[in-house]
Amino acid sequence: MYGTGRKRFRAAMTAAASVLVGALLLATTSDGGSLTPSPTTAPTATAPTASPSSAPSVTATDTPTDTPTVNPTAATSQPEQPERPQPAVSAPPGAPAAPAAVPPAPCVDPLRGRQGFELPDPDRTALLIGDSQSGGAAGVPADRTWTHAGLRSAGYDVRFVGAGGTGFVAANAAGAASYPTALAQGQWVLPCSDPALIVVQGGGNDAAQGATDAQITGGAGAVVDSLSRAYPSSTIVLIGTLARGAADGGGRRTAVDGVLRAFAVTRHLAFISPGDWLTRYQAGTQLADRVHLTQAGHDRLAVVLGTELDALQLTQPALDRAHQPRRFVVP
């Protein structure tokens, strides 16, 4: 009896414990169902329901890695404002007004009163008037002719006016006038102040065009008179006609050189005679054509011209422009 009762009590306690454990397990199950999910069914994630009044929160991992970063200050920066002009500074009351800038007066040559050119250093300048012997021909540029180079060796800055095919009487087919006509009509741009030296070279084209002695002398006189009036403190030098010697077939070119020499004597002008230089200095073998030198010929005669200027004391250091133009006696 006693054993049977104890068995009943144990059975009752076991049954009560089972009921209690079942109740606890039922209370802790997440979905109110069985504790063990079905082995053939994956758990289903339930998406959160967005509230109408609030946006879902986004974590750092929600931002794509290639989305450009926006500078928060760039969107709010203002466009650059133009620089305001500074107010003009006015003169103090009672102060005199600054004078207006006056443009410099134009430089005019003293011969025709036309637009001329300034000489940076008149005491070192030689104005050269000439034909193709000075202006260049047969591929030789003007600044490398025997007259240019010879004057530079004597210390001068050379300024050239003239043209090939012209002379004291001769004009060329391109419209360049003779020396006296070019001066009278203002065809050349001339210096506004007196150059130290004025060199007039020519005669070869006068010989070629058949000018007479009287015409050549008259043209030379008109040139010298015009230049003497315009540039009274300049020393004028004549260079005659480049030619062979009389015995070497110099012909009319050599004769014109003699005409210019005689003119220089009467006017007490310095004269350099190249009327036999092609023969005397063996430059006749250095001709590009019948009358024009090659560059080697120009280089040779440039040395001769420099020596002649030195002998006449007409190099730039020896020429004293503080005195009146020199008068010469041609031997």
pLDDT of residue 52: 42
% residues pLDDT > 90 (the chain): 63
Residue 35: predicted pLDDT: 40
Within a domain: residue 46?
A: no
Q: What residues are paired with 160 via a beta bridge?
A: 128
Summary mean pLDDT of the chain = 80
How many Cα atoms sit within 13 Å of 8 on the Cβ side? 5
Q: Where are the alpha helices (DSSP H) in 166-250?
A: 179-185, 204-208, 213-230
Is residue 266 assigned to a domain?
A: yes
Q: Taking the complete model, does pTM exceed 0.85, yes or no?
A: no
pLDDT of 228 higher than 50: yes
Q: What are phi and psi of 95, to 5 degrees?
A: -75, 145
CA distance 191 to 161: 11
Contact call for residues 107 and 118 (beta carbons, < 8 A): yes
65: in domain: no
Confidence of residue 25 (pLDDT cuts 50, 70, 90): very low
Whether residue 159 lies inside any domain: the answer is yes
Tokens describing residue 100: 């207006």
The tokens for 21 are: 């454990």
Q: How confident is the model over 79-138, as pLDDT tens digits? A: 555 555 555 555 566 666 666 676 667 799 999 898 999 999 999 999 999 999 999 999
Q: How many domains does the chain have?
A: 1
Query: Quick one: tokens of 149?
Result: 């180079």
Please give the torsion angle defined by the CA atoms of residues 132, 135, 139 and 141, in that order, rounded to the nearest 10 degrees: 160
CATH number, domain with residue 147: 3.40.50.1110
Is the pLDDT reported for residue 185 higher than 50? yes
Compute CA distances 160 → 68, 106, 132, 190, 198, whole Å. 73, 21, 11, 9, 10
| pLDDT score, position 132 | 98
Q: What is the pLDDT of residue 39?
A: 44
Confidence of residue 319 (pLDDT cuts 50, 70, 90): confident
> Residue 212 is part of which domain span?
122-318
- Could you tell me the two tokens for 116? 């001329």
Name the helix (H) or strand (E) containing 5.
helix 2-28
| Rounded to 5°, angle at Cα 259 from 257 and 161 | 60
Asked whether 202 and 238 are in contact (CB, 8 A), the reply is no
Q: Is residue 250 part of a domain?
A: yes
Lowest mean pLDDT among 24-38, 150-164, 197-211, 265-279: 24-38
* pLDDT of residue 59 exceeding 60: no
When mean pLDDT is compared across 65-79, 234-248, 253-267, the lowest value belongs to 65-79
**3-class DSSP assignment, residue 122:** helix
**Average pLDDT value for residue range 163-167:** 98
Q: Is 15 inside a domain boundary?
A: no
Q: Are strands 270-272 and 125-130 parallel, antiparallel or unpaired?
A: unpaired
pLDDT of residue 325: 64
Q: What is the DSSP letter of 171?
A: -
**Token pair of 8 as six digits:** 């009943």
pLDDT score of 262 more than 90? yes
- Whether the pLDDT of residue 73 is over 80: the answer is no
In a domain, 22, yes or no: no
